[in-house]
Structure 1
Amino acid sequence: MNPIQFNYIERFPEDIIDSAIGKPRKFRYTDLSSRINPIPSNSIIYKTITGLGATYSEVVADRNSIVMLPHVSIIKSKYADHTEKGHNVFAVHGEVKRAQVLEYIKATEGNKKLLTTPDGLDKIMWALEQVGNPEYKDYFLLIDECHKQINDASYREDMVRRMEDFFSFELKAMVSATPIEPTDPRFKEQGFEYLKAEPDYDYRKQLHLVHSNSVTDSFDNIINEHNHDKYFIFFNSINGIQSIVDSLCLDSETALFCSKENAFTYKDKFTNTYSEFELDNTVRYNFFTSSFYHGLDIILEQNPIVIVITDYGFARHSLVDPQTDVIQILGRFRKGYHKAYHINNAKGKVNSVSQETAENNFQISETMFLMTQHLKFSSTANKDHVAWLVEQQQRMKPYADLLTGSSEFSYYKLDCYYSENRVKRYYSSPRYLKQAYVESKAFIISETSSTFEPFKLIKLSGSHTKYSKLNIKEFCQELEEMSVIEGTEEYLQYLEILRLYLPVVHDAYFRLGLKKLSECDHRIRKIKLELLKLDVHEKTNSNALIEAAYLTFRLGVKYPISRIKKLLQGLYHDFDVPQKVTATAIEHYFFCEFYNQAVKGITHRWCVLTDYKFSQLAKYRRN
């Protein structure tokens, strides 16, 4: 499936030499509105550089406008900026009710200007229907940062749904400094044009690539080299951020900027945690997750050190696209930066395929999926056949992953699949990563390689995060994606690399299967118990009950006897032990200390487990 060929129209050929200094000047935020206002309908505007003022252009346009932005943090930032300038804008996000949107539309004389999240668009469309405008006439819908409609499609259903609404508007456009050409045929059917703004000065940004086998050690080297007052660090892994902060003892000087949900979850892990960006909340080390990669204006009096971090082995979602994400990240700093780094471990650990192979995989999986879909509804299919076919369809990837919640095929999920695979190819070697930067024409690249001796490495894979639910889920997804190259030498080599990261999950995937891991909710304790039960079934482990006890109980923890009996009886049931648990049965497995203690006036019997009786058998013991 070939992408649509857009018509490139150069709308900005005029000379931009500043007569006062005789040199090219940079665009101001008003430049887009002065050159292309209003934004034409059925267009995708390629800004080339960030900060050209697409939102501003639409806010000052003489019409009713809806500007859709990907994150609440961006909306709140732009809302504050525009209200300060005296613009009558209204922000729509999760905290805003439909009735408030309706009240704004009814009460506002003249042009209505709404800034909204993808989910907030539902509230606006409902309000327009209430005032007798069910076809949304006279409202221009602009999707800002439109590359996110593709890049986030694999995990944000709200992004995918909004594209159906987008085409229901008569007046509409999309804009980004880093757009990705969509394959949805409706763009071609409705005659969309691709309008490109290309500055006639050298707008490339300096960036230093650091190829390293330890991102934490390389990060440590950079901050020691500069001793700067402000560091802005972009790393899309909160566990990874926590590991760096803990390893280098930076907590007292660290601020974390992340989504509202994560800010609440991790508020006790970091001294400073925020879901919105305010300059007054910045400290020396400021860490940002992907919610803050786009659309944010950071204006500092002193130019900071900017560090982008990618560690695929620790967090696959930390990959950044040099041709979209990094351009957006560096574009946040409106007055520039002192120096920018991208620390990465592009060393061939990434599982990727060529674009041709990706397209073939899609076509084959689509054919197989639709064939089994037909069999599901055939007159000869009984209940058991249908259940088996449904299970088989879940393995027909990538097509099975490209369906919406309502089981409809999504072009945006397909584009996301191609885009993610393209980005993964960059990280198969430092050479490919550098080439991606060069081909973007947005950077002036320098690079170094840092190799640290194994005994000196500061690891990100600490025990507190290694077997997290998220890591296990992503590990399984990686193994599933590898199935397209199964049987090849590359498959065997990469499988061995993965086994070193999460050996227990690696074994469980091949012994228990993906379905059983999902039933365990990707929780390591449940997975280990299932492995032990399988050992018993296969008669490969006569001590599985002892190991299960060591997995269930922790040394040094104070347990009430009633709790011990309940947990141990559950293990007896799992391992078919026809015996009732007694108060002292735990002594078969642990050295114990018993004592009495009163709780609310009632005396209870308690036990502390002091050591294992069979320490050599503690294969899956709890830490």
Structure 2
Amino acid sequence: MKIEYITIDAGQRFDAVMPEIPTNSIINKTVTGCGATYAEINAPRHSVIIEPNVPVIEGKMKKHPQILGVFEGVTTEDIIDFLNTNYNDGYLKIMTTPESFPKVRSAMVQTHTDMHGEWFMLFDECERTIQDAGYRGSITLPMDDFFRCKQKAMVSATPIIPSDPRFEQQGFTMKILRPTYDHKPKMLLIHTNNTVGWVRTLMGQVKGKGHPLCIFLNSTDTIHRMICTYKIEKRCKVFCSYESVKKLRKRDFSRAYSSLEELDEINFFTSRFFSAVDIELPTTACVLIVTDLSFAAHTVIDPTTEAVQIVGRFRNGVEDAAHIFSTNKEMPCKSREEIATRLEECEAVYKQVLQIEASGAGCDTRAQALEGMDYKRFMNADGTRNWFMWDNAYDDERIKQYYTDAELVREEYAKAFHTDCAEHIYPLSDCDRLQRINPRLKMKDLFREIVRQLEILEQNRTWNEYYFLREEIQSQVPMMVDAYYALGAAEIERHNYNMNAIGKQIQENESQQLLTSEKVCGEVYDRLKTGDKLPVCAVNRFMNDLIMRFGIPYRKKVTAKMIGIYFEYRDVRTNKQRFIELGKRII
């Protein structure tokens, strides 16, 4: 693809250097928020602008009420009314999600509107057509119509060059804005094996400074786990998809929203809000990106696309930005060549099945075989290759590869940011935290794991996470923690992690502690003296009465020999009657 460079100065808007977005171009605007979408909204032509998510459209509609936003809930009839009512009143602007684009196309067909010949189609934040395709195949629904349009373009501050041959066939040009000033933002990179601990640390550092904390983490489950761990239910909001909102509300967390609302002290955002959305605040924000591979591998972030977009959401700027991330050198990754070989082999098999001649029941069998093949996701409805799905497979593996080594993450970040780097490896990690809630562990194995972690924790009492972790483990497995601090690791090992035996041992120890308490010993020594000679039955009654009066939970049989806790003694027989003669005090 041919590449052209266009310079842009500090403070210049997009339309100052490119008055109109040219057709058959992919615009790399380099700088977020410079006004490319604004330029098309105000361009003197009819436009269909495709945005990746609903919040983007809602935000643009508030600023530009002439726009018709099309997403779930907006009908084809609504679009027809818009076209019929406004067509002669100036240039029309329709902004739609990819999933709702078929409604736009249907409305234009029904109103005999020549979308392909008279309208300009703009794909905004175009890298999402590749990055989201793996879990959201519908994002490429408008592509065939896009290539049929005479006037069309893609735009983003972080585009990924697609491999679809139609770009080359139609003579697309990559136009790159090249800033004449230092446009790279700052980013603190913290590589750690304990992301939960470090998020807690940074929360403490920004608390009370007057800047909202915005945490970008693409895992609703991990977000909910953090909220519960930090006990911040009343101090935070979560911005995520509508489905995730429903999931969180089923877990009794009601402060979740699928559209942008007023921010709270702490705010979590999933990928729905990573790009295109304008977050306008009266002050700067503290931005925190989190990648936690132990809980969710899909929390990896591409430094040169997603991280750039995240920092660029804040129109009033960013006070501080940091990315806390873990790595996994064992994470399986494939090279581009390996992926291409595998996909080509799968495609060959798919096409062979597709070409099998069949009739009647045979056609159903062939259809079932095709439907069951995973490669079906990589094909378009017309049987052609879905190039965006192939690009997605390449892109996923490219990003995963970075997170096998912290240095690879740092190198990639350095392409788009000025970075400061820190490394914090701790004695207990996110993986250890995961083991504590591992449902596959048998009770004895879980007990052994808890003891191991508590031993490590006690050897690192100066660690700033010591009290947080001890409290967290206590809340998860209170009986095991109590047993550890009551008996110690060696005694628990001696009982082979058997909770029943350990429970009995703890009760016995507690009884022993009560029996030797100052109050009980005072009672014994007030009533009994060295040299006393008492019948065994009297000593038995004395010990039973002592245990009853002081409420000591003694579970074993009470005998006269228990007087040995307090005195040395010897058995004496006189006229066939057994006596106990008390010797020197022991306590």
Q: TM-score, normalised by structure 2?
A: 0.69
Measure how far apart 1:275 and its partner are.
Answer: 1.1
Residue 556 of structure 2: aligned partner: none
Structure of greater Rg: 2
Residue 446 of structure 1: aligned partner: 420
1:277 paired with 2:260, answer yes
Cα separation, 1, equivalents of 2:362 and 2:318: 65
2:327 maps to a residue whose letter is A
2:242 to 251, 260, 272: 260
Contact 2:48 2:119 in 1 (8 A): yes
Contact 1:206 1:443 in 2 (8 A): yes
1:8 maps to a residue whose letter is I
Measure how far apart 1:406 and its partner are.
Answer: 6.4
Residue 139 of structure 2: aligned partner: 159
| Alpha-carbon spacing, 1:36–1:291, altered in 2? closer, same or farther (3 Å) | same
Cα separation, 1, equivalents of 2:401 and 2:358: 41
1:322-372 Cα distance to aligned partner (Å, 9 max, x none): 111100000001222121111111131422122222223233333344345
1:434 paired with 2:417, answer no
Cα separation, 2, equivalents of 1:198 and 1:405: 39
1:33 paired with 2:15, answer yes
Residue 299 of structure 2: aligned partner: 318
Residue 327 of structure 1: aligned partner: 308
1:233 paired with 2:215, answer yes
Contact 2:241 2:258 in 1 (8 A): yes
1:61 to 43, 48, 55: 43
1:308 paired with 2:289, answer yes
1:81 maps to a residue whose letter is K
Contact 2:195 2:430 in 1 (8 A): no
Contact 2:101 2:141 in 1 (8 A): no
Residue 78 of structure 2: aligned partner: 100
| Alpha-carbon spacing, 1:240–1:134, altered in 2? closer, same or farther (3 Å) | same
1:289 paired with 2:267, answer no
Query: More displaced, 256-265 or 288-297?
Result: 256-265
Cα separation, 1, equivalents of 2:277 and 2:74: 21
Task: Write out aligned runs for 1:106-505 (5 A).
Answer: 106-108=84-86, 109-134=89-114, 136-227=116-207, 228-229=209-210, 230-268=212-250, 269-278=252-261, 280=262, 282-374=263-355, 376-377=356-357, 394=373, 399-404=375-380, 408-438=384-414, 441-454=415-428, 459=433, 463=437
Aligned-pair identity (%): 30
Cα separation, 2, equivalents of 1:455 and 1:92: 45
Contact 2:47 2:93 in 1 (8 A): yes
| Alpha-carbon spacing, 1:61–1:384, altered in 2? closer, same or farther (3 Å) | closer
1:90 to 59, 68, 72: 68
Cα separation, 1, equivalents of 2:378 and 2:268: 32
Cα separation, 1, equivalents of 2:190 and 2:402: 14
Structure 2: any 5+ residue segments left out of the alignment?
Answer: 441-448, 450-587
Contact 2:241 2:272 in 1 (8 A): yes
1:253-277 Cα distance to aligned partner (Å, 9 max, x none): 0100011222233225324111111
Cα separation, 1, equivalents of 2:93 and 2:81: 13
| Alpha-carbon spacing, 1:107–1:251, altered in 2? closer, same or farther (3 Å) | same
Measure how far apart 1:98 and its partner are.
Answer: 1.2
Cα separation, 2, equivalents of 1:388 and 1:135: 37
Residue 503 of structure 1: aligned partner: none
Residue 409 of structure 2: SS of its match in structure 1? helix
Measure how far apart 1:57 and its partner are.
Answer: 0.5
1:143-195 Cα distance to aligned partner (Å, 9 max, x none): 10011111111122221221112112111111011111111111111111111
Contact 2:350 2:370 in 1 (8 A): no
Measure how far apart 1:400 and its partner are.
Answer: 4.8
Contact 1:307 1:342 in 2 (8 A): yes
Contact 1:254 1:270 in 2 (8 A): no
Contact 2:2 2:173 in 1 (8 A): yes
Measure how far apart 1:209 and its partner are.
Answer: 1.1
| Alpha-carbon spacing, 1:98–1:456, altered in 2? closer, same or farther (3 Å) | closer
| Alpha-carbon spacing, 1:390–1:193, altered in 2? closer, same or farther (3 Å) | closer
| Alpha-carbon spacing, 1:460–1:329, altered in 2? closer, same or farther (3 Å) | farther
Cα separation, 1, equivalents of 2:430 and 2:101: 51
2:195 maps to a residue whose letter is V
Residue 343 of structure 1: SS of its match in structure 2? strand
Contact 1:157 1:404 in 2 (8 A): no
Measure how far apart 1:97 and its partner are.
Answer: 1.3
Cα separation, 1, equivalents of 2:176 and 2:384: 32
Residue 600 of structure 1: aligned partner: none
Measure how far apart 1:101 and its partner are.
Answer: 1.0
Cα separation, 2, equivalents of 1:301 and 1:96: 32
2:412 maps to a residue whose letter is A
| Alpha-carbon spacing, 1:74–1:389, altered in 2? closer, same or farther (3 Å) | closer
Cα separation, 1, equivalents of 2:7 and 2:96: 29
1:10 maps to a residue whose letter is Y
| Alpha-carbon spacing, 1:466–1:137, altered in 2? closer, same or farther (3 Å) | farther
Q: TM-score, normalised by structure 1?
A: 0.65
Q: Which runs of 4+ in 1 moved over 6 A?
A: 381-385, 455-458
Cα separation, 2, equivalents of 1:369 and 1:104: 43
2:3 maps to a residue whose letter is Y
2:346 maps to a residue whose letter is S
Cα separation, 2, equivalents of 1:455 and 1:168: 53
